[in-house]
Amino acid sequence: MAESGVRLTALAHGGGCGCKLSPAVLRELLAGMPAAQAFPDLLVGIETGDDAAVWRLNDEQALVATTDFFMPIVDDPFDFGRIAAANALSDVYAMGGRPILALAILGMPLGKIEPAAVRAILAGGAAICAEAGIPVAGGHSIDAPEPIYGLAVIGLVRPDRVLRNSGAQPGDRLILTKPLGVGVISAALKSDRLEAESARALYATLVDSTTRLNAVGQALAALPQVHALTDVTGFGLLGHALEMCRGSRLGAGIRLAAVPLLDGVADLARIPYRTGAAGRNWGSYGQEVALGPGVADWQRDLLCDPQTSGGLLVAVAPDAAEEALALVRAAGFGRAAVIGELQTGPAGITVLS
């Protein structure tokens, strides 16, 4: 919390990746954008809603460029900076790339936040970038009505190792590297109705998950049997899986029982604690999802729950699924799991309990 005692989350109407525009609104806004075919070195643009842009420099190197920022999901300034930075770096990892530098994006309501709190936000972002082995080499700041922080990140990747969200193949297994539930925990903490001990445990769970770097994406890019990759953020698991399905022109089946959840999240979701973004997400793409019998409303909401700095969703050939899963778990993602598979058919998802 800032020295002034002002809660960062009280200064913002949303928080984390729950701030994102809904998928339906974003598609409407991007409709009619000019095609990028005139730029043959642009390997990845906006065509399938991928995680970052990729520009081929030569036969050995391509540039990965992305930006990501949002309003506070937690009140601790240092943790807010760490979470926002890890989330931004994830876009480069999700392309199979290696970040090389970052630029800070900062908007602060002057007069409402103490300078010490702003410095702590910047320090948190710098700490995560140091963990990733890169500098924060500059940035831009404005006086804004709500606190905003994030990064523009530049990375490198081999052109033949770029992992798009559109390369999945029929039969590929889907691996999720982080458990779901960040949005639910955030909603519960903001309610101020939790016992202190429970709140502390849930906060630690949230911060541990959201500050864990998705650097394993680089190692996954070295496996030729990994065909597609994306990170699960504001659109929820179903939304980002649908982007993979649309881009790959495939359907998907997800086994609800196999989807990992953060500790305590199932109980919170039943209360129910949920975010407005989960409802907006379902309203945007629910018509493309078939829910099997026995899938409760709270479970559906968890699949739509906005994940700030969420895990990677990996599409990998069946004969390499165990190898990829072992690689991910060895990188520190002990709850990673195979949650479903891709299949021929129209783009859409079937969820079975």
Task: Tell me how far apart the alpha carbons of residues 199 and 22 are, in angstroms, rounded to a whole number.
Answer: 29
The amino acid at residue 43 is: L
Q: What are the two backbone dihedrals, phi and then psi, of residue 226, each rounded to the nearest 5 degrees?
A: -85, 120
Residue carrying the six token digits 């924060």: 136
Pairing, β 289-291 against β 348-352: parallel
Q: Can you tell me the distance from the alpha carbon of 267 to that of 15, in angstroms, rounded to the nearest whole number?
A: 22
User: For residues 290 and 297, what is the distance between their CA atoms, to the nearest angstrom?
Assistant: 13
Give catalytic status of residue 304 as yes or no.
Answer: no
User: Using CA of residue 27, residue 29, residue 35, residue 36, what is the dihedral sign?
Assistant: negative
Q: Report yes or no: 242 and 341 within 8 Å, Cβ to Cβ.
A: no
Q: Of 17, 19, 245, 304, which residue is the catalytic one?
A: 17
Please name the amino acid found at residue 308: T
**Which structure tokens are listed for 234?**
């504001």
Q: Could you give the residue numbers annotated as active site? A: 17
